[in-house]
Amino acid sequence: MTRRFLVRTYGCQMNEHDSERIAGLLVADGMEATDDLEAADVIVLNTCCIRENADNKLYGHLGRLKELKARRPDLQIAVGGCLAQKDREIVMERAGHVDVVFGTHNLGRAAELLEHARMDGPIVEILDEHDADPAVLPARRESPHSAWVTIQIGCDNSCTFCIVPIVRGPEISRRLGDVVREVGELAADGVSEITLLGQNVNSYGRDLGAGQYRPQFADLLREVSAIDGIRRIRYTSPHPKDLRPETMAAMAECDAVCEHLHLPLQSGSDRTLARMHRGYTAERYLERLRAARAAIDDLAVTTDLIVGFPGETDADFERTLEVVDEASYDAAYTFVFSPRPGTPAAEMTDDFVAPEVVKERMARLMEVVEGHALVHHEARVGRVEEVLVEGLSKTDPTRLSGRTRQSKLVHFPADEVATPAGSYVQVRITRAAPHWLAGELVEAPRAPRPTRVLIPVAAG
């Protein structure tokens, strides 16, 4: 019988894309995917270690899988990703029923390691460097119309709160031609929206080239935008210190590049930013934000914010509120500081902020963020927006959901058969909330291009 697998992902879009590759490898090995935990012969947990609750979720899930493994001894459980890279021994100590542990640098051997474990028992294999460019691995995409494209792995920054350089390694950019070729193949396969992925995408290319020519991120945006069939280009995440005028110009000039900039602030306090090793001041950040808005029409801006970084005083937090108020974000991902073992910030224990103080600050921050988000969204009521349909709403099966070019979530009533996922539709916005828009369909949908299906033909 064909073995079935299930992959569960924790963490960021990079992890989601890695999971697509793991799934692609398992399919290439003759397995088939399933969403049924009870039916799976192989369960792969692709982990994150950016925040403490990611650890808790993993070990909680592994605890529940222990009973399943007891009932079905042939079930194989694998743990991969960032947490596996960092805590290889701890995973096996806390969950002895795990069959395979592999890290971020050798996900290409996932299928091989599972087969090895079937024959010889549990195995842990963690490499300190990549054994192959993960971008060359097969991927099993969940969406036929949208795709992630990795342009860079690793990170050369030294933010004191971040574990990524430890688990992902130093920054390595893919060759521009290889990225363009991959996007061209995706477009030929029916993909119309891509998201370029990297730990610091706008430093792309600084490790490439020789002599006077070295491709920059702006060059990549222009090359990819010229590919026939690609209607939307997104990217994440840039670093404020590396946001160049050339990138803003490319965003403004390239029709396919979406009017959305995710620019992580983290803190508005210069003192805290220095302790974080972020490499910019609040005013320098705001200058670049103003330049981006001046260059790109109808730009939506989102950000990341950390509350309760070690040593954050009332004055530091007040400064953050002031900067967030001035920045006037469309949305923000807000996080309570989570100490990650191995990072400098985790050693600042004497300066940890009391949980009750953090909770109160978070509530105040959310009030400012959501106030600006609502203002931005209410300004769009009455406008007609182009929406890429993603599918049925997660909360209301009578409505469809999709996103505008500014990545704003829109809900609208429509016929799922007549308006399939991947369609581009025109929606008039009728209602606004801090986190979504609602509207009504005003134009018949443009159906997505059919996805190519390769059918093997027998020789002779």
How far is the C-alpha of 365 from the C-alpha of 304, rounded, in Å?
12
Question: b vs e for 351-388, b when ≥16 Cβ sit within 10 Å of the residue's Cβ?
Answer: ebbeeeebeebbeebbebbbebbeebbeebeeeebbbb
Query: Which residues on neighbouring strands pair with residue 262, listed in sequence order?
Result: 302
Residue type present at position 243? L
User: What are the b/e assignments for 179-199, b being 16+ CB within 10 Å?
Assistant: bbebbbebbebbbbbbbbbbb
The helix (run of H) or strand (run of E) holding residue 13 is helix 13-28
Sign of CA dihedral 194, 199, 201, 204: negative
Q: Of 361, 366, 363, 408, give the one whose Cα is nearest residue 383.
A: 408
Output the six-digit token pair for 74: 């042939």
> Which of these CATH numbers, 3.30.750.24, 3.20.20.140, 2.40.50.140, 3.40.50.2000, describes 384-441?
2.40.50.140
Average pLDDT, the chain: 90
Pinpoint the residues of the chain covered by CATH 3.30.750.210: 142-258
**CA 224 to chain CA centroid, nearest Å:** 19
- CATH 3.40.50.12160 in the chain, residue ranges: 4-125
Tell me which of 267 and 445 has the higher pLDDT. Answer: 267
Q: The pTM is what?
A: 0.85
The yes-or-no verdict on residue 458 having pLDDT over 50 is: no
The pair of structure tokens assigned to 253 is 């000039």
Confidence tier at 140 by pLDDT (50, 70, 90): confident
% the chain with pLDDT above 70:
93
**Stretch 15-42: mean pLDDT:** 92
- CA angle at 50 for the pair 311 and 272, rounded to the nearest 5°: 20
- Of the segments 138-147, 171-180, 255-264, which one has the largest average pLDDT value? 255-264
Per the structure block, which two tokens stand in for 281? 């001041």
Q: How far apart are the first and last CA of the chain?
A: 29
Q: What is the arithmetic mean of pLDDT over 35-62? A: 86
Burial-class residue 289 by CB neighbours within 10 Å (0-12, 13-18, 19+).
buried
Amino acid found at 79: V
How many angstroms separate the CA atoms of 231 and 233, rounded?
Answer: 7
Percent helix, strand, coil in the chain (nearest 5)?
40, 20, 40
What superfamily does domain 4-125 belong to in CATH? Methylthiotransferase, N-terminal domain (3.40.50.12160)
- Kindly tell me if the per-residue pLDDT of 456 is higher than 60: no
Least reliable range by pLDDT among 2-6, 137-141, 338-342, 424-428: 137-141
Query: How high is the pLDDT of residue 94?
Result: 85
pLDDT at 226: 97
In the predicted model, is pLDDT for residue 460 greater than 50? no
CA proximity to 31, closest of 67, 7, 58 = 7
Residue range 244-269, pLDDT digits in tens: 999 999 999 999 999 999 999 999 99
User: CB burial class (10 A; 0-12, 13-18, 19+) of residue 105?
Assistant: buried
pLDDT given for residue 449 in this prediction: 58
Tokens standing for 365?
Answer: 């921050």
Q: Which of 113-117, 121-125, 298-302, 363-367 has the lowest mean pLDDT?
A: 121-125
For residues 12-25, give the mean pLDDT. 87
Domain 142-258 part of CATH 3.40.720.10: no
State both tokens at 237. Answer: 């995440």
Q: Is the dihedral of CA 436, 439, 442, 443 positive or negative?
A: positive
What number is the average pLDDT over the span 170-190?
93
**Euclidean distance between CA atoms 114 and 131, whole angstroms:** 17
Mean pLDDT across 330-355: 94
pLDDT exceeds cutoff 60 at 453: no
| Answer CATH for 260-379 from 3.30.750.200, 1.10.10.10, 3.40.50.360, 1.20.1050.10 | 3.30.750.200
pLDDT-derived band at 445, boundaries 50, 70, 90: low
In this predicted structure, the answer to whether residue 128 has a pLDDT above a threshold of 70 is no
Cis peptide before 237 (omega within 30 of 0): yes
Token pair, residue 372, equals 């600006």
> CA dist 298 to 112, 374, 388, Å?
48, 16, 18
Q: pLDDT tens digit string along 205-245?
A: 988 876 667 899 999 999 999 999 999 999 998 999 999 99
Q: Is the pLDDT of residue 131 over 90?
A: no
**176-188 helix and 217-225 helix, angle to the nearest 10 degrees:** 30
- Give the orientation angle of helix 217-225 with respect to helix 245-253, to 10 degrees: 10
Measure Cα distances from 78 to 11, 39, 99, 111 in Å.
17, 16, 6, 10
Q: In which band, very low, low, confident or very high, does the pLDDT at 459 lie, cut at 50, 70 and 90?
A: very low
Q: Quote the percentage of the chain above a pLDDT of 90.
A: 69
pLDDT digits (tens, 9 = 90+) for 390-431: 999 988 888 999 999 999 999 999 877 788 999 999 999 999
Q: Where exactly does CATH 3.30.750.200 map onto the chain?
A: 260-379
Mean pLDDT of the 75-104 span: 88
**How far is it, in rounded angstroms, from Cα 165 to Cα 103?**
14
Residue that has been written with the tokens 């950000």 in this structure: 303
